[in-house]
Structure 1
């Protein structure tokens, strides 16, 4: 699980540390810049004002000196003796002298001129002590808090990440639910919500396993139990067909029995295919779509007895498919049965294209509301019509199972167009 929660949390904390560190560094840099550009300027201005105020009271007041600066005072009308030449020539005001690592203030009053020279190196050391050092301490505090928060968060999400890996590794056909059994949970799962989630997943896995077992048993048993009586019916019908002397009515009944048994076998095959798991492929064969359509058209012809309806097939192509032929037979047969049932006059056209089979009728059609629910199981717009409303639902499910989407278009009173598209 390369994109698991621990990795995401680690990335989030790293981004947080980087962003906070950049913010702290930027703030420290701005503070130091303000101090360098403004603090010394204000300090020298205040020092000069204080000196001249004291000098006005006491003419012998000494020139200010400190650990970080030197001062010289030149009374009015006297030469700047003792003042360095590179300072004595400066005009009144504040002068940064980067080449000499000095910041100089020249303050001129009627009583004389005051020179104050601040040592830039000492000021930088003060900046380190009062600005850089707190920034470093702040960054260390951020790193310590982030590391502690990361450890706590990792401890909290580790059980969830472990559960996610276990569930992601499940085989849907045979999930390894024993890994989530209470006695096999790792110690770091603890006794809180993570353990409750693990127990819930274990119970869910047991239910899924039981469901899969029942589904497999049903598929196996249904395949045997449903085919056995159908085989008896078909064999009996074939034997009866060899008898001589059957009346025309008996022969028609015999053909209907044989046709119904074939239909029932196709429906059973379709339901069993739908009941199987999606990754279990049913037996496939190479067949002609036109052959299947012709067979299904022959089967539904009796449904049109006594109706002024013309059923015909238009073949614009001869497509062939490699799939279970009975699946397409069930789909086409259901669409044809619906068309015959809801068409009282006009025509029914089955059109075969290279990539589709369509059934168009001139029947009663469907409203927009009915069309939206046409594929719902057990839904019937006409409650008096025969059947259980399962035909179109089965057709759609089979189409989705084999990649043959089914599309319905209908206009009330004008008929319906049903299309099976072959996606290749």
Structure 2
């Protein structure tokens, strides 16, 4: 036998978002990302175009300014464009320029950006075009302060546009998610409405020819195949129940008639009693398996001590020469709300497993107020047994060449799930295994 904890292991909670929420969040993030990208691109393109336009304008106008200066004989000819300030410095006044505008004096030809703060604390910003000849230096300044203010206003407008369009994207996402998820939600509602129905109606006619309609068709096909499987299973269970119980009833009747004869010797009586116990075990097992196949709880009030005594008597007759003592201890008034057959199968497998793996010593069944313990003096448990004991088809480390398909304890686990019982095993204090069957309070 293998150890397992009756209490289920706790799983860490997994955060799951609804599909509707994921769609809304996708629209929200897409809207936010696109709006930010568009705002950044728009602002960058605007600044770049304005910069190129001003630079090109100043390049053309400073050349025109120089030509008009020379063609007018060195007279002040005015400025060709507003927001511009032009100045011509002759060779003999280079030193004066160095004292008046030292930052201009050191600049080479080209377009330069100049900014700073005036004496009164107001900021200034302008572009300066410079053309230098051996005898004259030409300067053309373009005030970009207004352009900077317009750019700041534009950026502040973008700070408002981005949240507005993000909210609009969120609303569009919510509306779209509602439209997209509406048929899926309707499909889920119709599926829940068919829960427990033995003849569910088709789902596909209620949906259009789209992805949800294809899903409804697939569910209809699966439902039909599942219904056919369940129907075949029910018919098989009913046939097996009828066909097996009939010969078992014949065996029971024949055994009772033979036991009623007074001229039987002791060996024959023991064999007939063994046949009678085997017939009762088969009857109990068939009844329990039918309950499991239908997932139905059988009703009844069963005295646990009575079933324990029956199982101990049945196993005493099969001990042979094994030096094992079988005994029952504890309270004898415990009853459970379950058929005697179900309890007999559960306790019979636990006691039978303990007897099979105990070569000498004892198997003790202790009755408590709401549980039964089966304590043996067998070889104990391995780690692999502890993890896989109640799996269907698993045979313990100490099974060796013994008979059995490894399904007895899996049947016990299924019965416990059906009746809300708890089953588990743990190592004994010194040796062996302690198997515990705990009943629910409702039992």
| TM-score band, normalised by shorter chain | 0.5 to 0.7
After TM superposition, give the deviation of residue 62 of structure 1 in Å: 3.0
User: Are 2:289 and 1:264 equivalent residues in the alignment?
Assistant: no
Change (3 A) 1:57 1:320: farther
Mapped pair 1:363 → 2:374: no
* Structure 2 counterpart SS, 1:293: helix
- Post-superposition shift, 1:209? 0.8
- 1:188: which partner in 2? 209
| In 2, Cα distance between equivalents of 1:102 and 1:297 | 106
Listed one character per residue, the Cα deviations across residues 266-303 of structure 1 (whole Å, up to 9, x for unaligned) are 111211122113xxx31334445444323322332212
* 8 Å CA contact retained: 2:291, 2:298: no
Offset of residue 208 of structure 1:
0.4
Structure 1 distance, partners of 2:289, 2:19, is 42
Secondary structure at the aligned position of 1:215 is classed as helix
CA distance in 2, matches of 1:332, 1:344: 20
Q: Are the structure 2 counterparts of residues 126 and 15 from structure 1 closer, same or farther at C-alpha, using a change threshold of 3 Å?
A: closer
TM-score by length of 1: 0.65
SS in 2 for 1:304: coil
- Aligned residue among 14, 17, 20 for 2:28: 14
> Where does residue 310 of structure 1 map in the other structure?
325
The worse-fitting range, judged by mean Cα deviation, of 395-404 and 248-257 is: 248-257
The one of the two structures with greater contact order (alpha-carbon pairs below 8 A, sep at least 6) is 2
Q: Secondary structure of 2:337's match?
A: strand
Q: Deviations over 1:131-154 (max 9, x none)?
A: 979x98xx99xx99x989x98x99
Of 324, 328, 335, which residue of structure 1 is paired with 2:343?
Answer: 328
Work out whether 1:393 is the aligned partner of 2:417: no
SS at match of 1:358: strand
1:203 match: 221
Separation (CA, whole Å) in 1 of partners of 2:371 and 2:280: 24
The 5 A counterparts of 1:110-121 are: 118=143
Using the TM superposition, give the Cα deviation of residue 218 of structure 1 relative to its aligned residue in structure 2, in angstroms.
3.0
Tell me by how many angstroms 1:389 deviates.
Answer: 4.0
Matches within 5 A, 1:15-414: 15-25=29-39, 28=42, 59-64=74-79, 66-67=81-82, 69=83, 71=85, 94=115, 118=143, 170-171=194-195, 173-174=197-198, 176=200, 178-180=202-204, 184=205, 186-189=207-210, 198-234=216-252, 237=255, 247-249=265-267, 251-277=269-295, 281-315=296-330, 320-354=335-369, 356-364=371-379, 374-377=389-392, 382=399, 384-409=401-426
Are residue 418 (structure 1) and residue 432 (structure 2) matched? no
Q: 1:120 to 1:267 in 2, by over 3 A?
A: same
Structure 2: unaligned runs, 5 residues or longer: 1-16, 91-102, 105-113
Secondary structure of the corresponding residue to residue 317 of structure 2 = helix
SS at match of 1:205: helix
TM-score of the two chains, using structure 2 as the length reference: 0.63
Q: 1:61 to 1:271 in 2, by over 3 A?
A: same
Q: Cα RMSD (Å) of the superposition?
A: 5.5
CA distance 1:403–1:43, shift in 2 (3 Å): farther
Per-residue CA distance 1:178-215 (angstroms, 9 max, x = gap): 223xxx374432xxx77665554433222101011122
Answer yes or no: is the 8 Å Cα contact 1:106–1:113 preserved in 2: no
SS of the equivalent of 1:406 reads strand
Say whether the 8 Å CA contact 1:75–1:112 is kept in structure 2.
yes
Whether contact under 8 Å (1:94, 1:106) holds in the other structure is: no
Q: Deviations over 1:105-138 (max 9, x none)?
A: 89999999989684866776688899979x98xx
SS at match of 1:174: coil
